Structure formats: structure tokens, C-alpha cells
């Protein structure tokens, strides 16, 4: 490796030591006889001060630098009250590692706010901004923590296929794939495979995967390619066991973010509240009552919460110290794979998690009685023949089970207070965006 110290590790205590830093030229300030070169690496910024009368040869090289050039600067660490971070380098050598083209398609060091579309068109440049990069460092901390929790709890990390013959929830929102001579589709959800694995005795699993939705949307919370964190567990009593897992894992992941992504939260200006109390679990009817009583709000569709309803409920619970809560039991959502309390006319064991006013995931106890599923499919007009592989696998003894799929990008959007979910994705995909 090229010998260097991260800027974040260069502290005033190192005054007098010689170190090398390497990174992009974030900013150049030429004051005549004096050039400040501010170097950016993944940890932050550090300035090197080139003086014409002190190091004339180096000074000339520094004057020739351009924004975003990749450089390595060796120098003496010097405490400095004026310098950002309280420290700067007195250069001893300067190496130009890679020269950047000019001009940049997007400003990086200036506080010029480009619109999101322009930023995404030039995402490679946009990602160089410390406050943009911070989103993805935080996302990495969050994902690692989430996986650590499930690993520790004995869940098996699995991979289910992304190309299949059909989808869990029908055909309209599926992307078709030309699969050799056959027509196939991209996976919308690993739901059916997760359930087969429960029947196979895998007991507790999680998957970090991708879901594809061919919806034609134009909202700030939808994309076509979604990072999913899927969970399924067997031998549950009911959906409360599933909510327990989601609650504990999310709390742990947020704790880890608060502890290990402090710098990133600062960069993003986010004051993260880790929910230390139990997440409230309210029924759909209770949710409607709160909306009516507290806000006089009635969702247009009385069988589902609308975006505004979720937001208002979010405010209501946030005020009581609960950034996250569950809504349990939705009317008119009787899917064949949902478990319902007998005789109940709602999907009584289905739940949604709402975090900071936005739905992050759906889950519930699944139906494991194949006969009941076949009846439901016939009633719903679902073509059973597309699901034989699934029904068949579940017919040879399946323990009661449930699970959920958590949208990782939406979670990051909410944690980081981002206006648009695309900001939480390195290279997002939507109906109009297939590149970069």
C-alpha cells in the first residue's frame, strides 16, 4: 500500500512529526506567495501550506495543481489555530498521482446545491462530497450492525434466486427477462423461497438481497431496484414474535449507528434518537381513531393508511418519545400467504413498521396450511399452477412461521432525514434512470 496516514488520524498532538497524506485536492487557495492545498480523503480534510520563500520548488508544483487531482503530500504536522481541525502540514514533498480533467461537471468544495437529477447524472463526482459520502458510510455501519445481530442470534444468512418464473404478488409490476429461450421475471420479493426454507427446517434465516419493482412512479420514496433485508423465522406463537425480532434488531442497529457513525451523523446534521422503549403496537382501527381524534384526518381509502396518515401518526408517536411503532391488522389485505385469526375478516396477523412517519416494512405470520392457501388462491383468482413449486414444498410438514422484508434504502432515508430515497442509493434506478 502507498504509505499514508488518514487525515482523521492527524491530530495536534502529533506536532513535529512527519506524516504523509494522500487524497483528492478538495480546494486550492492561492494567496500569492502562499498556496493552501486542502486534501480530502475518506476521513475528512487537511490543509498543507506551501510558501514560496520557504519551499520554492514545491510551491511551484502546488500552484500547478487543479481541483480533484490525486496527490500525496509528506510534511511536518504543525499545530495551527486557524486551520480546520487545528492542524496543518508544512510540506516536504508533493507527488501528483493522477491529474483531474477540468472543469468539473459539478462543484464539490463550494456550497452550490445542484438539483438531484444533475447530481445523479454525475454521481461519480457527487459522491465525492463529504456529506454525500457520509450517507453511505453510515449505511454500511447500519447494515453491518443489522447482520451482526442476526448472526449472533443464530439466523442463517441465505441467498435466494433473483430470476424466476413468476412473482409472489402477480405480474403487473414485474420486469421481464429473456432467459435463454424462456420468459422469466426479476424477483419482487424472496417471500416464497423464505417460506420454503422454513418448511425445510432452516428455522431462522435472513437475506440481504434486491427486489425489483416495475412500477411507474414519481415519488420521493420509490425506486425500481431496492435493497432489502429479509427475515423469516419458524416455531412462532404469532406475529408478535416476528415484531419482537424486528424491534430488537432495529434498536441494536440504530444504537450501533449512534455509536460508530457519530462523525457521519454530524456531517449530515442528524440528531439520531434511538428508541429505548418498546415500540407501540396499535391496531389499524386504533390508527384510524388517532387520525380522526387528534388530526381530523380521514384517509381516502379507509382500508389503508395514506402517506399523510403515516406522517401524522409518526408525529403523534414521536412526541411521545416513540420514533418507531407497529400498525397491526389491515382490512382488505387477505393474501393467500397471510395467516389470519379464524373467522376474522382482516389480515389480522399482518403488520407494518412505521419509522419517523414512513412505512419501512411489511410482515406478519404466514399461512402454513396449504389447503387454506389453495382455497384463498381460488377465491382471489390466482393461478395455482404458477405456485405449485411453493405449495408442494409446504405440503410436507411446515412449522408455523412469519417474517418481514425491510427496505434498507428507506430506512437510511429516514435515519439521515433525506428528502428523496434516491439520495440513499449509490446508483439509483427509476423509470427514467438506467445510468450511471
For the annotated binding site for L-aspartate, the residues are: 169, 213, 362, 366
Residues that constitute the known binding site for ATP:
213-215, 221-223, 359, 407-410
Among 62, 77, 186, 328, binds a copy of itself (CB under 8 A): 186
Write out the binding residues for a copy of itself, residues 78-117 only, by CB under 8 A.
97-101, 104-105
3-state SS, one letter per residue, for 248-284 = HHHHHHHHHHHHHCHHHHHHHCCCCCCCCCCCCEEEH
- Classify residue 152 by its DSSP letter: H
Binding mask 371-400 for a copy of itself (x = CB under 8 A): ------------------xx-xxxxxxxxx
Stretch of residues binding a copy of itself (CB under 8 A), selected from 177-185, 302-310, 358-366, 415-423: 177-185
Within 13 Å and on the Cβ side, how many CA atoms surround 434? 3
Q: Write down how long the chain is.
A: 436
Q: Does 23 bind a copy of itself (CB under 8 A)?
A: yes
- Classify residue 215 by its DSSP letter: -
Write out the binding residues for a copy of itself, residues 313-342 only, by CB under 8 A.
none
Instruction: Please identify, using beta-carbon distances, which residue of 49 and 261 lies nearer to a copy of itself.
Output: 261
C-alpha cell at position 84:
480546520
Residue 427 Rama label (left phi>0; alpha psi -120 to 50; beta): beta
Write out the binding residues for a copy of itself, residues 143-172 only, by CB under 8 A.
143-144, 147-148, 151, 156-165
Stretch of residues binding a copy of itself (CB under 8 A), selected from 8-16, 306-314, 316-324, 423-431: 423-431
Q: Does 184 bind a copy of itself (CB under 8 A)?
A: yes
Write out the binding residues for a copy of itself, residues 293-312 only, by CB under 8 A.
none
d(CA 98, CA 100): 6
d(CA 207, CA 217): 26
Instruction: Please identify, using beta-carbon distances, which residue of 180 and 342 lies nearer to a copy of itself.
Output: 180
Q: Is 300 exposed, middle or buried (0-12, 13-18, 19+ CB in 10 A)?
A: exposed
Q: How far is the CB of 291 from a copy of itself (least distance, A)?
A: 33
Instruction: Please identify, using beta-carbon distances, which residue of 133 and 308 lies nearer to a copy of itself.
Output: 133
Among 18, 60, 235, 266, binds a copy of itself (CB under 8 A): 235
Residues that constitute the known binding site for Mg(2+):
359, 362
- Classify residue 111 by its DSSP letter: -
Calculated CA dihedral for residues 84, 90, 96, 97, nearest 10 degrees: -70
Stretch of residues binding a copy of itself (CB under 8 A), selected from 233-241, 267-275, 313-321, 337-345: 233-241
Q: How far is the CB of 130 from a copy of itself (least distance, A)?
A: 9
Q: Does 139 bind a copy of itself (CB under 8 A)?
A: yes
Q: How far is the CB of 49 from a copy of itself (least distance, A)?
A: 21
Q: Does 269 bind a copy of itself (CB under 8 A)?
A: no
Q: Is 208 exposed, middle or buried (0-12, 13-18, 19+ CB in 10 A)?
A: middle
Binding-residue total with a copy of itself (CB under 8 A): 96
Instruction: Please identify, using beta-carbon distances, which residue of 76 and 241 lies nearer to a copy of itself.
Output: 241
CA angle 421-408-350, nearest 5°? 110
CB 350 within 8 A of CB 342: no
Output phi, psi for 358, to 5 deg: -135, 140
Instruction: Render the burial of 128-156: b for 16+ CB within 10 Å, e for the rest.
Output: bbbebbbbebbbebbbebbbebbeeeebe
Among 46, 94, 120, 227, binds a copy of itself (CB under 8 A): 227
Amino acid at each position: 500500500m502507498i504509505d499514508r496516514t488518514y487525515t482523521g488520524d492527524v491530530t495536534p498532538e502529533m506536532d513535529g512529526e512527519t506524516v504523509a497524506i494522500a487524497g483528492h485536492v478538495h480546494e486550492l487557495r492561492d494567496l500569492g506567495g502562499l498556496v493552501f492545498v486542502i486534501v480530502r480523503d475518506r476521513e475528512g480534510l487537511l490543509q498543507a501550506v506551501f510558501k514560496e520563500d520557504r519551499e520554492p520548488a514545491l510551491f511551484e508544483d502546488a500552484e500547478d495543481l487543479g481541483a480533484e487531482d490525486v496527490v500525496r503530500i509528506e510534511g511536518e504536522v504543525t499545530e495551527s489555530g486557524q486551520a480546520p481541525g487545528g492542524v496543518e502540514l508544512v510540506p516536504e514533498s508533493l507527488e501528483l498521482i493522477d491529474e483531474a480533467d477540468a472543469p468539473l461537471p459539478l462543484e464539490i468544495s463550494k456550497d452550490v446545491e445542484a438539483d438531484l437529477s444533475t447530481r445523479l447524472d454525475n454521481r461519480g463526482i457527487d459522491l465525492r462530497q463529504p456529506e454525500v459520502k457520509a450517507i453511505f458510510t453510515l449505511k454500511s455501519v447500519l447494515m453491518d450492525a443489522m447482520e451482526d445481530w442476526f448472526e449472533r442470534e443464530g439466523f442463517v444468512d441465505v441467498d435466494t434466486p433473483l430470476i424466476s418464473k413468476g412473482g409472489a404478488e402477480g405480474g403487473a409490476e414485474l420486469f421481464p427477462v429473456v432467459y435463454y429461450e424462456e420468459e422469466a421475471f426479476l424477483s419482487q420479493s424472496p417471500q416464497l423461497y423464505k417460506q420454503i426454507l422454513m418448511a425445510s427446517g432452516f428455522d431462522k434465516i435472513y437475506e440481504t438481497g434486491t427486489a425489483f419493482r416495475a412500477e411507474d412512479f414519481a415519488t420521493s420514496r420509490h425506486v425500481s431496484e431496492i435493497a432489502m433485508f429479509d427475515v423469516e423465522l419458524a416455531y412462532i406463537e404469532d406475529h408478535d414474535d416476528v415484531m419482537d425480532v424486528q424491534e430488537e434488531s432495529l434498536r441494536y442497529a440504530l444504537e450501533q449507528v449512534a455509536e460508530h457513525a457519530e462523525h457521519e451523523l454530524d456531517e449530515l446534521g442528524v440528531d439520531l434518537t434511538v428508541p429505548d422503549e418498546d415500540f407501540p403496537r396499535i391496531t389499524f382501527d386504533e390508527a384510524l381513531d388517532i387520525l380522526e381524534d387528534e388530526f381530523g384526518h380521514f384517509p381516502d381509502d379507509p382500508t389503508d393508511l395514506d402517506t399523510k396518515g403515516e406522517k401524522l401518526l409518526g408525529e403523534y408517536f414521536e412526541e411521545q418519545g416513540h420514533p418507531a411503532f407497529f400498525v397491526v391488522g389491515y382490512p382488505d389485505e387477505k393474501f393467500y400467504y397471510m395467516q389470519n385469526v379464524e373467522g376474522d375478516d382482516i389480515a389480522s396477523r399482518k403488520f407494518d413498521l412505521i419509522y419517523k412517519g414512513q412505512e419501512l416494512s411489511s410482515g406478519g405470520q404466514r399461512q402454513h396450511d396449504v389447503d387454506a392457501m389453495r382455497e384463498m388462491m381460488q377465491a382471489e383468482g390466482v393461478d395455482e399452477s404458477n405456485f405449485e413449486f411453493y405449495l408442494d414444498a409446504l405440503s410436507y410438514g411446515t412449522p408455523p412461521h412469519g417474517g418481514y422484508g425491510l427496505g434498507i434504502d428507506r430506512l437510511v432515508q429516514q435515519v439521515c432525514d433525506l428528502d428523496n430515497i434516491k439520495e440513499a442509493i449509490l446508483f439509483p434506478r427509476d423509470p427514467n434512470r438506467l445510468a450511471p
